[in-house]
Amino acid sequence: MTTISKDISVYSEALDAVIDGNRLPAGIIMKKQVAINQFEQLGLPTMKHEEWKYTYLAKILKKGFVPGLTDKKAIDIAAAAAQLPARKNEQANRIVLVDGVVIPELSAIHYTERVTVLGLADAFEKEETGALELFASLTKGKGQALTALNTALSQDGIFVHLAGNTQANLEIIFIQSGSKTIAMPRLIFNVEHGSQLNIVEQHVSGDQDTMINMVAEVFLDNDARLEWTKIQDGGTGAHQLDSVYVSQAAGSQYHCSTISLTGELLRNNQFVSINGEGAHANLGGLYILNGKQQADNLIVIDHNTPNATSNQLYKGLLDGESTGVFNGKIVVKEDAQKTNAFQSNKNILLSDQAAAYFRPQLEIFADDVKCSHGATSAEIEDHEIFYLRSRGIGKELSKSLLMFAFVSDVVEEILNEQVREQVRQSISSRLKIDF
Amino acid sequence: MLNIKDLQVSVAGRQILKGFNLQVNPGEVHAIMGPNGTGKSTLGNVLAGKDGYEISGGSVTFNGMDLLELEPEERAQQGLFLAFQYPVEIPGVSNANFLKASVNEIRKAQGLAPVSAGDFLKMMREKMALVEMKKDFISRSVNVGFSGGEKKRNEIFQMAMLNPKLAILDETDSGLDIDALRIVANGVNKLRTKDNAFIVITHYQRLLDYIVPDVVHVMYDGRIVKSGDKDLALELEEKGYDWIKESLATV
């Protein structure tokens, strides 16, 4: 069998299946056809692409992942229900997707006049939502093949619209059933002036190999806020390709924390466009990896206007033969005076075979800016371990406590205490600490 | 409880303890005084099990066990506690989580069930009052942003929480003002029982006004050269360490 990347017809056939298997408006079908053409021109990224040199995508696809239609009728809702984590916040909207498709029976959505939360397929059918226009508006022309693939092959996802000066909490659960079809949910979040959207995202996928290629388009109006915590702890077989595109207007705040704990491949792309003064983007991430796990974080922040700030703080704990990549790019355009942009990546290598790669990139075209970047390799200090051991704590638990301590500043950046606590529990569980 | 016989310890090829002898019984407070560089901290570190020390001779028995055979955590689990001269800062680990792990690991080693969250909090509040710690202490990272005095008080606080059989205070008074000293000493005194014991390693006599020792030992050149009661400390303060050196030279 030829490698899937060379077999373009597989993708066109998948698009045909998606169009046939779903009721899509003409405008959406057109955008999908444009996207599949873009994908075919771009081709899947290979290791010759700078930003994919550590992720051997063609090899990963050989595990049998295929693009295609997810048959909604074939989804085992009862099995999915059994895997759902307990609700952390009864007041929040909960939206559950299985293999990239929204399952209303497992979701709990409160629709109000000012807060719209819908499956994306439903949103496409309601013209008044504006989903048709927003879809693929931020991703256009970005040259990202996997994004184009999602534009083409996504059949459902999540649409959220907050009218001005309101607030909503959303719990998103992505369940992967074990099918080898690549799930491709599309997310669109439109947060109007002065509103705040809080999202906690979780994944459930078990030990079988599964793949999800998701794309989010986020529109933050003046003074709007999005706080998004992505907990990537779904299962050892998870392969997650995640791309988020954000457009920020003046005074808006984008806070995203990516907590990468389990999964064979956790590829996270963040493309943030700061288009208004006084906006702030805060991207935090931590990856705790073992075995052959790989986390690959690409962040591109475009400062297009003056007086905005951004901050990137990513930390990695790498054991076994794992790989952690941090590729952080800051672009400050000529007019973006008084930009403050900071970036920091710290890694602790816990074994000889683990590897950390960092690639800070600064492209500064304005002359009155403050930018800094730093990447360090750290160690767990012997005298810290000894102090804990002298208090009766065994060597392994001492190391785990210090590992927890190392990433805790990333956790502390999460603004909501309940969410912070949820993340702390996931991390302590991952590190086998019983607090 | 503790029996140190002829202990010989080197660091980086240089011998520091040259035949150190000490016996401590339950209910006793021993003070060890001596000039700098004479091996006082080495003693504390070796008893606690720190790496980097070469033991070339002698033995240490703790409650019938060979202490030098035990891992640092095993020594703590058996009831040994070292209050560090320079307590370590551990950003990201809260005082509460650190102590909870510590208390429960020690209980586990003793075959006890872990302490419940409620009981633990109660215990913490009780002991915090003992060393006059502020309420926010529980959630703060271990020793981060603490003044010297607060770090030392934290050592005594931990001691109160873990209730050791033998506590070694390694120059706990160094860098403390009178108020901090008073609080630390008060904490120690409240913990004294007839079943536990203390070794107070100090450079100055001042602490011993507050923590009155049963025996005072003077350490010089890696071993104990003179022992006496609490008056020895006063004599030492008055005459200085040179007096000891001279009296040894004439022997």
For residue A99, list its beta bridge partners: none
Tell me which chain B residues have a C-beta less than 8 angstroms from the C-beta of A395: 71, 73
Distances from the Cα of A390 to the Cα of A330, B49, B88, B115, B213, angstroms: 44, 8, 12, 20, 25
Interface test with B, best of A380, A383, A388 (most B CBs within 10 A): A388
**Please, are residues A129 and A161 in contact by the beta-carbon 8 Å criterion?**
yes
Nearest to B72 among A384, A390, A402 (CB): A390
Vertex A423 angle, CA A417 and A424, to 5°? 85
Which B residues in the span 23-62 are in contact with A, Cβ-Cβ below 8 Å?
A: 48-51
Segments in chain B below pLDDT 50: none
DSSP state string for A118-182? EEHHHHHH-GGG-HHHHTTTTTTT---HHHHHHHHH---EEEEEE-TT-EEEEEEEEE--S-SBP
Q: Which is higher by pLDDT, A204 or B179?
A: A204
**Please, are residues A11 and A152 in contact by the beta-carbon 8 Å criterion?**
yes
Instruction: Say whether A402 and B50 touch across the interface (CB within 8 A).
Output: no
CA pair distance A245, B33, nearest whole angstrom: 66
In this prediction, residue A88 has a pLDDT band, given cuts at 50, 70 and 90, of confident
Instruction: Say whether A402 and B162 touch across the interface (CB within 8 A).
Output: no
Instruction: Say whether A391 and B91 touch across the interface (CB within 8 A).
Output: no
SS3 content of chain B, % helix, strand, coil (to 5): 40, 30, 30
Q: Is the pLDDT of residue A2 over 50?
A: no
**Please, are residues A270 and A256 in contact by the beta-carbon 8 Å criterion?**
yes
Whether the CB of B105 is below 8 Å from some CB of chain A: the reply is yes
Nearest residue on chain A to B83, alpha-carbon basis:
A390
Q: Is the pLDDT of residue A1 over 50?
A: no
Nearest to A394 among B73, B75, B100 (CB): B73
For the sheet with A280-289, list strands across it: A101-102, A93-98, A167-175, A196-204, A225-233, A253-262, A280-289, A309-318, A340-349, A370-378
Q: Do you know the residue count of chain B?
A: 251
How close does chain A come to B54, measured CA to CA in Å?
A: 17
Q: Do you know the residue count of chain A?
A: 435
A37-62: pLDDT as tens digits: 999 999 889 888 888 888 888 889 88
Tell me which chain A residues have a C-beta less than 8 angstroms from the C-beta of B49: 389-390
CA pair distance B217, B29, nearest whole angstrom: 11
For residue B78, list its beta bridge partners: none
Instruction: Say whether B101 and A401 touch across the interface (CB within 8 A).
Output: yes
Q: Where are the alpha helices (DSSP H) in chain B?
A: 40-48, 72-77, 95-109, 117-130, 148-162, 178-191, 207-210, 230-239, 241-249
Q: Is the dihedral of CA A72, A65, A423, B98 positive or negative?
A: positive
CA pair distance A208, A126, nearest whole angstrom: 37
For residue B251, the model assigns a pLDDT of: 54
HSE-up (13 A, CA, CB side) for residue B224 = 20
Percent of chain A at pLDDT exceeding 90? 84
Tell me which chain B residues have a C-beta less than 8 angstroms from the C-beta of A396: none
Instruction: Say whether B93 and A393 touch across the interface (CB within 8 A).
Output: no
CB pairs under 8 A between A and B: 80
Residue B130: φ, ψ to 5°: -60, -40
Report which listed range, A82-96, A374-388, A401-415, is most confident: A401-415
Tell me which chain B residues have a C-beta less than 8 angstroms from the C-beta of A386: 48, 50-51, 72
Instruction: Say whether B101 and A433 touch across the interface (CB within 8 A).
Output: yes
Whether the CB of B97 is below 8 Å from some CB of chain A: the reply is yes
A321-346: pLDDT as tens digits: 999 999 999 999 999 999 999 999 99
Whether the CB of B76 is below 8 Å from some CB of chain A: the reply is yes
ipTM: 0.94
Nearest to A392 among B50, B73, B84 (CB): B73
A138-177: pLDDT as tens digits: 998 888 999 999 999 999 999 999 999 999 999 999 999 9
For residue A137, the model assigns a pLDDT of: 96
Q: Is the pLDDT of residue A229 over 90?
A: yes
CA pair distance A225, A219, nearest whole angstrom: 10
For residue A6, the model assigns a pLDDT of: 56
pTM of the predicted structure, to 2 decimals: 0.90
CA pair distance A115, A426, nearest whole angstrom: 30
